[in-house]
Structure 1
Amino acid sequence: MSRFPSNSRSAPQRFDPRRPQAVADVLDRTDAFRALRAGVEQMAALQRDLSALLPDYLAANVEPGFIKDGVLALFAAHNALAARLRHIEPRLLGDLQQRGWAVNALKIRVRPQPMKESAPPKQARMSAAGASALHELAESLEPSPLQEALAKMAARHRTQGNR
């Protein structure tokens, strides 16, 4: 017989590590995680406020840091954005204070973003007829750097067409 009646809604849920759980429930389990959750929620709220206060090009490239001793660290993607942030710093500081943030100063730092993978180089394709015409043109020219370049290009495209 159970301590709780079967129709009672106050029966505590047992922890089952095999069942999926909401992150909020996991973070509420211990005091250390509660503090982490509070910090994460504060950062999310600060990010939302910055997105509302900054122009789109800045909001997309600026990340908030933690507030320590009334100083908020802001991380810009590159020097030009950091310079723009410094230019609007007084207005931004006032706007953050009006929204209730306990911030007395901003510390603007540059945190370079990782390089995005570059697009693969373009691969030009030429039809067999085009490669043949290019080869004929190269044959008709006097020896010169242009004639050599055309001959190489025609040869490269002829071999690509055979694949």
Structure 2
Amino acid sequence: MIRSPSFLSYGPGTRPGRSPAKKSAQGITDYLRANDKMAALLPAITRMAALQQDCTAILPAIFDACSVIQFESGQLVFSTPNAALAAKLKQQLPKLQEALLQRGWQVNAIRLKVQVRKIVEKAKPVKQISLPVQAVSALASLTESLDDSPRNEALKAALSAMVNRHRSGR
């Protein structure tokens, strides 16, 4: 799968209202066309993207995690994230090769490479909620008005923590 660097996602020629995938593809295309040396890569990238798309259409469950990394002289090379997926894909290679031949791709051999990818977890956004002064005062009043019973203990602690957090944030 071809992934664009973040600086290309909103490149020249992109328009507001387009989907992120279209913005990304358009940004890459514009970048490649702007640079003569990079423009020579455009046909190869287009071909690889079309091949990736065909493979995903043929075996959608497997190709969500796999990607085409090379296609030269009839030899196709795929990247898989783990050995288990590579084993599943290996069982499907005859079906895939036949389907690609029917779609016009001259594939004589298919090789698999296991390439473990580093999983990057997205940082959880920090909540930036601020309560009005009246709301904080109302919560403080509620905390004081609750009975001191074991049943209300957890609620009072949570309300106190919320009031303290919002008072210290101001």
TM-score, normalised with respect to structure 1: 0.55
1:23 aligns with 2:32: no
Gaps of 5+ in 1: 1-19, 28-36
Residues 135 and 150 of structure 1 are in contact (CA less than 8 Å); yes or no, is this contact kept in structure 2? yes
Residues 56 and 64 of structure 2 are in contact (CA less than 8 Å); yes or no, is this contact kept in structure 1? no
Aligned to 1:149: 158
Q: Spell out, residue by residue over 1:108-144, the C-alpha distance to the aligned partner (whole angstroms, 9 max, x if none).
A: 5354265153242223321111111110111122162
1:66 aligns with 2:70: yes
Distance in 2 separating the partners of 1:70 and 1:109: 20
Residues 100 and 106 of structure 2 are in contact (CA less than 8 Å); yes or no, is this contact kept in structure 1? yes
Distance in 2 separating the partners of 1:136 and 1:24: 66
Alignment of structure 1 residues 1-163 onto 2, 5 Å: 22-23=36-37, 41-42=43-44, 44-55=46-57, 61-67=65-71, 72-76=76-80, 85-86=89-90, 88-98=92-102, 99-107=104-112, 109-112=114-117, 114-115=119-120, 117-141=122-146, 142=148, 144-160=153-169, 163=170
> Residue 146 of structure 1 aligns to which amino acid in structure 2?
L
Q: Which moved more, 1:42-51 or 1:54-63?
A: 54-63
Residues 73 and 109 of structure 1 are in contact (CA less than 8 Å); yes or no, is this contact kept in structure 2? no
Gaps of 5+ in 2: 1-33
Query: In the comparison of the two structures, how many residue pairs are matched?
Result: 130
Q: Spell out, residue by residue over 1:8-67, the C-alpha distance to the aligned partner (whole angstroms, 9 max, x if none).
A: xxxxxxxxxxxx962279x7xxxxxxxxx6xx8556423312213423786665321235
Distance in 1 separating the partners of 2:84 and 2:135: 47
> Residue 77 of structure 2 aligns to which amino acid in structure 1?
A
How many Å apart are 1:146 and its aligned residue?
A: 2.2
Q: Secondary structure at the match of 2:108?
A: coil
Root-mean-square deviation (CA, aligned residues, Å) is 3.8
Q: Secondary structure at the match of 1:54?
A: helix
